């Protein structure tokens, strides 16, 4: 009775209407299995709403976050306003044995001096004979003691790991990898540590990589000692182990209490030690790129996905970085203040990187409304989906074709569902692109003191550049580089077993996972075969004049805006988004090399050059490179710059090479 009374009826309807409008104007997230709390917290703070399956439409969400892999159908069913937090098929680097195998392959193709950042690894039982041969060879050489670490391939968080010197101690009952143990790690007050680096792959096609400025340093909680190989608190840096150690809460020299530092604190430490860090950071960035190159060509294109990887890096006593493992779902638990500082900012910046627009918040409603007003269909926009479907359709409807009768029920169901989605999406996708708001260049100059590059990456459809100013955004701006429809090749759609077969380094309960090392060589033998005298990390000679970014009067480098024009038709992804620094592509050549078919060889050559610029004092080489740059500009190629990832106020790469 009460709701039917006219004034109350209108009020009631108005409230429901307002609520609906409000919901429609908010972005909506879905967390699988209650998801990481920090993701919920950050999104709610930014004004997002949580998906409620009882109240919301099935497709009424913008971000689906899960720790484990998505099903193929979830990629295929993605709608233009939706994003997933995983790309398909990244298991090639996130499972210990796959990573070892892939790095071995790259070493064979591109040379062991380039891919020397991961310790020699053997996958047992298959590689047992090879391991035995290597073990015996090293024993007979009678050099310094050699240690090995054995890790189950499908476990994480340090479970099942042990270190050994004598082969008689190698006992295993499952698939394991045995690696050279980096026995000379860099120590702080006698404690071993490793670095957790957060890497966001914004897109695999074209490859677009951002590395976050913040990260974690994870310490062992007992002093490093090679005479007690069984002491996990001294040899493993997993937080999941050390937070239960007897000395977790004890003051441990410079390390302090607990077992974590932020990356900022580590930078500060390095600075206090008068260590020149620039080359070290660049080497870590190279490791990230070179590792991603092992799988990039085989990952299907899925423009609405991002991936946040956790790279675990160990520094040895010579500051050479070693890749320990790549985590598929880096832990997002908040155990201590360092976690809170790092992870909240990280997630917020990741959301900024996802380029949500106001149109995304309208979801299906806006699409239907606009679609019915201005139906507009260009089949070419779906060209990457259509061929797959039409192929199946031909098989299905060819009269008298035996194969059509032999199709299984699930196959038919897939065909029907795909057709339904395809038909429904077409009008909206075009419209969606067209109705994205235009860029206001004035707003791109700076937000909260941060200067951001404003060009967007090329899209398969429109090259519309868009901007959203979210009230809760840390960067307060982002640039849309949308490719509206996920393109999954036939082979992915056919691969129904993808999800179940991926046993990866899930670290979401505070783990690490790893696969790495090879030769414990001097840094000089890495990427560049740089002569020994040039690679010391201490500022010892005048030839090492990289920008003195830590001197007291240092002012942050002003990052010029890149023009909104593209380089030879290719748009450039933003230089940085919050704490995320674009590390790939880093110049015109790598931009071009990643546009169509990934030119891995060329990219590797450019990495060589870049690291050479940072490491060398060779005047001749620098002059040649400068001349090359001048020539490029004369040829009409607009160049673009990148930032050096790592230092607190990252300098431009071009400045680094000019100052060397
Ligand atoms: P998990 O996935 O179980 O965390 P990791 O490969 O990350 O496995 O190894 C756990 C820890 O063991 C690392 O954080 C690191 O401290 C140590 N560790 C792993 N591999 C090596 C190695 N080759 N040399 C030295 N320490 C290693």
- pLDDT for 469 beyond 70: no
Measured distance CA(600)–CA(596) in Å, rounded: 12
Closest atom of ligand 1 to CA, residue 119: 23
Give per-residue pLDDT as tens, 390-426: 232 232 223 333 333 333 333 434 444 444 444 455 4
185 Cα nearest atom in ligand 1 = 25
What is the predicted pLDDT for the residue at 503?
52
Q: In this structure, which residue's CA is closest to atom 17 in ligand 1?
A: 236
Q: Is the model's pLDDT at 502 over the cut of 80? A: no
**How far is it, in rounded angstroms, from Cα 653 to Cα 642?**
6
325, β-bridge pairs? 312
Cα–Cα dist 605/352, whole Å: 32
DSSP per-residue letters across 108-177: HHH-TTTS-SS--EEEETTTHHHHHHHHHHHHHHT-S---EEEEETT--TTTT-EEESSGGG---SS-EE
Tokens representing 546 are 């990289």
The pLDDT tens digits for 80-120 are 899 999 999 999 999 999 999 999 999 999 998 899 999 99
Separation of alpha carbons 468 and 355, rounded Å? 8
Which atom of ligand 1 lies nearest, measured to the CA of 517? 23
173: CA distance to ligand 1 center in Å? 19
Q: How high is the pLDDT of residue 56?
A: 81
Tell me which residue has tokens 């060509």: 297
Say if residue 159's pLDDT is above 80.
yes
Mean pLDDT, the chain, rounded, equals 72
What does the pLDDT read at residue 290? 97
Identify the pLDDT of residue 11: 47
- Dist. CA 227–CA 636, nearest whole Å: 62
Token duo for residue 108:
């064979």
- How big is the CA angle at 410 (ends 405 and 416), to the nearest 5 degrees? 80
| Average pLDDT, integer, range 39-45 | 97
| Per-residue confidence (pLDDT) for residue 277, from 0 to 100 | 84
Tokens of 268: 């500060």
Q: What is the pLDDT of residues 602-658, one digit of tens each?
A: 999 999 888 887 776 555 555 666 666 666 555 555 567 899 999 888 988 877 765
* Cα–Cα distance, 276 to 131 (Å, whole number): 37
Percent of the chain scored above 90 by pLDDT?
Answer: 49
Question: What's the CA gap between 379 and 307, in Å, rounded?
Answer: 29
With bands split at pLDDT 50, 70 and 90, how would you rate the model's confidence at 522? Answer: very low
- Residue-wise pLDDT for 296-321, tens only, equals 999 999 989 999 999 999 999 999 99
Give residue 366's pLDDT.
55
Looking at per-residue pLDDT, the higher value among 600 and 632 belongs to 600
The number of helices, as runs of H, and strands, as runs of E, in the chain is 21, 18
End-to-end CA distance of the chain: 82
Amino acid 496: pLDDT: 32
Q: List the residue whose alpha carbon is closest to atom 20 of ligand 1.
A: 324
Give, using CA atoms, the residue closest to atom 23 of ligand 1: 181
Ligand 1 atom closest to 179 (CA)? 23
Q: Which of 560, 575, 569, 565 is nearest to 592 (CA)?
A: 569
CB 464 within 8 A of CB 454: no
> CA distances (Å), 397 to each of 414, 557, 623, in order?
15, 63, 66
Q: How far is CA 303 from CA 309, 381, 382, 396, 459, in A?
A: 17, 13, 13, 29, 9
Nearest CA to ligand 1 atom 8: 513
Ligand 1 pocket, mutate which of 260, 325, 510 (most atoms under 8 A from CB): 325
- List all residues 6 or more positions away from 586 whose beta carbon is below 8 Å from its beta carbon: 606, 610, 642, 653
Q: How far is the CA of 176 from the centre of ligand 1 (A)?
A: 13
Name 26's Cβ contacts closer than 8 Å, sequence gap at least 6: 47, 48, 49, 361
User: Ligand 1 centre from 650 Cα, in Å?
Assistant: 29
- Residue 442, pLDDT score: 37
> E strand or H helix at 449, and its extent?
none
- Using the mean position of ligand 1's atoms as its centre, give its distance from the Cα of residue 67 in Å: 21
Cα 591–chain centre separation: 18
- How far, rounded to the nearest angstrom, does the alpha carbon of residue 503 sit from its chain's CA centroid? 18
Q: What value does the mean pLDDT take over residues 216-229?
A: 97
Asked whether 100 and 121 are in contact (CB, 8 A), the reply is yes
Q: How far is the CA of 216 from the centre of ligand 1 (A)?
A: 15
Q: How many A from CA of 255 to the centre of ligand 1?
A: 20
pLDDT digits (tens, 9 = 90+) for 326-365: 999 999 999 999 999 999 999 999 999 998 987 787 776 6
- Ligand 1 centroid distance, CA of 232 (Å): 10
Q: Which of 486, 457, 155, 112 is nearest to 299 (CA)?
A: 486
pLDDT on residue 430: 41
What atom of ligand 1 comes closest to residue 155's alpha carbon? 3
- 238 C-alpha to ligand 1 centroid (Å): 8
Instruction: Please tell me the number of Cα atoms within 13 Å of 449 on its side-chain side.
Output: 4
To the nearest 10 degrees (0 to 180), the angle between helices 619-634 and 600-615 is 130
Q: Which helix (H) or strand (E) holds 106?
A: helix 96-110
pLDDT reading at 443 higher than 60? no
DSSP string, 181-218: ---SB-EETTEEEEEEEEEEEEEETTEEEEEEEEEEEE
Residue whose C-alpha is closest to residue 586's, from 604, 601, 568, 569: 604
Specify the ligand 1 atom closest to the Cα of 160. 3
Q: Which atom of ligand 1 is nearest to the CA of 512?
A: 4
pLDDT (0 to 100) of residue 278: 86
Top-ranked range on mean pLDDT: pick from 551-560, 579-588, 623-632: 579-588
Q: Rounded CA gap, 609 and 590, in Å? A: 12
Cα–Cα distance for residue pair 393/527, rounded to 1 Å: 50
Q: Give per-residue pLDDT as tens, 225-269.
A: 999 999 999 999 999 999 999 999 999 999 999 999 999 999 999
* CA 336 to ligand 1 center in whole angstroms: 22
Predicted pLDDT at 400: 32
Mutating to test ligand 1, I would choose from 514, 519, 520 the residue with most ligand atoms within 8 A of its C-beta, which is: 514
pLDDT value at 453 more than 50:
no
Enumerate residues lining ligand 1, CB below 6 A: 119, 149, 151, 155-159, 161, 179, 181-182, 194, 236-238, 312, 314, 324-325, 505, 511-514, 516-517
Percent of the chain with pLDDT over 70: 61
Note whether 442 and 382 are within 8 A (CB). no
Q: How many residues does this entry show for the chain?
A: 660
What is the enclosing helix (H) or strand (E) of 564?
Answer: none
**Interval between CA 310 and ligand 1 midpoint (Å):** 13
Q: Distance from the CA of 513 to the center of ligand 1, in angstroms?
A: 7
């Amino acid at each position: 009775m009460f709701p039917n009374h006219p004034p109350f009826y209108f009020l009631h309807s108005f409230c429901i209407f307002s609520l609906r409008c409000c919901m429609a104007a908010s972005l909506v997230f879905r967390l699988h299995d209650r998801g990481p709390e920090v993701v919920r917290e950050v999104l709610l703070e930014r004004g997002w709403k949580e998906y409620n399956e009882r109240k919301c439409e099935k497709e009424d969400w913008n971000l689906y976050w899960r720790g484990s892999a998505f099903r193929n159908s979830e990629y295929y069913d993605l709608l233009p306003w939706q994003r997933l937090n995983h790309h398909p098929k990244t298991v090639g680097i996130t499972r210990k044995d796959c990573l070892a195998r892939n790095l071995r392959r790259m070493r064979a193709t591109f040379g062991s001096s380039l891919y020397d950042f991961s310790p020699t690894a053997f996958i047992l039982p298959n590689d047992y004979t090879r391991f035995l041969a290597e073990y015996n060879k090293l024993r007979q050489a009678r050099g310094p003691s050699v240690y090995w670490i054995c890790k189950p391939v499908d476990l994480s968080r340090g479970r099942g790991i042990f270190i050994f010197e004598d082969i008689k101690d190698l006992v295993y009952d499952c698939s394991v990898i045995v690696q050279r143990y980096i026995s000379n790690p860099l120590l702080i007050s006698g404690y071993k540590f490793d670095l957790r680096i957060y890497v966001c792959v914004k897109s695999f096609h074209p490859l677009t990589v951002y590395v976050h400025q913040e990260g974690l340093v994870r310490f062992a909680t007992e002093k490093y000692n090679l005479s007690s190989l069984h002491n996990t608190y001294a040899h493993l840096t997993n937080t999941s182990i050390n937070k239960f150690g007897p000395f977790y809460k004890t003051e441990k020299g410079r390390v302090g209490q607990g077992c974590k530092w932020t990356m900022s604190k580590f930078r500060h430490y390095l600075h206090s030690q008068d260590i020149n860090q620039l080359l070290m950071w660049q080497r870590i960035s190279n490791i990230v790129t070179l590792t991603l190159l092992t799988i990039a060509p085989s990952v299907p294109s899925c423009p609405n996905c991002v991936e946040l990887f956790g790279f675990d890096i160990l520094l040895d006593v010579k500051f050479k970085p070693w890749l320990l493992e790549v985590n598929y779902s880096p832990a997002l638990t908040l155990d201590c203040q360092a976690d809170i500082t790092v992870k909240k900012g990280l997630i917020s910046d990741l959301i900024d990187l996802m380029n949500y627009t106001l149109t995304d918040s309208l979801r299906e409603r806006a699409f239907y409304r606009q679609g019915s007003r201005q139906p507009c269909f260009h089949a070419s926009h779906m060209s990457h989906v259509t061929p797959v479907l039409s192929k199946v359709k031909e098989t299905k409807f060819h009269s008298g074709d035996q194969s059509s009768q032999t199709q299984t029920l699930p196959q038919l169901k897939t065909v029907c569902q795909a057709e339904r989605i395809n038909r429904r999406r077409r009008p909206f996708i075009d419209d969606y692109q067209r109705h994205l708001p235009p860029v206001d260049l004035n707003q791109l100059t700076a937000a909260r003191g941060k200067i951001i590059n404003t060009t967007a990456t090329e899209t398969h459809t429109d090259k519309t550049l868009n901007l959203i100013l979210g009230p809760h955004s840390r960067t307060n701006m982002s640039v849309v580089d949308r490719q509206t429809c996920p393109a999954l090749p036939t082979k992915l759609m056919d691969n129904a077993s993808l999800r179940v077969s991926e046993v990866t380094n899930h670290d979401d309960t505070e783990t690490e996972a790893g696969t790495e090392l090879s030769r414990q060589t001097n840094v000089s033998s890495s990427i560049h075969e740089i002569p020994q005298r040039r690679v010391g990390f201490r500022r010892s000679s005048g030839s090492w004049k990289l920008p003195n970014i830590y001197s007291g009067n240092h002012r942050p480098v002003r990052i010029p805006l890149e023009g909104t024009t593209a380089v030879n038709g290719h748009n450039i992804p933003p230089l940085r988004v919050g704490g995320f620094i674009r590390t790939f592509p880093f110049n015109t050549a790598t931009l071009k090399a990643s546009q169509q078919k990934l030119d891995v060889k060329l990219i590797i050559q450019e990495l060589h050059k870049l690291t050479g610029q940072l490491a060398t004092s060779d005047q001749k080489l620098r002059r040649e490179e400068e001349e090359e740059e001048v020539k490029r500009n004369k040829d009409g190629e607009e160049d673009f710059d990148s930032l050096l990832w790592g230092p607190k106020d990252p300098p431009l790469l071009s400045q680094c090479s000019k100052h060397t």
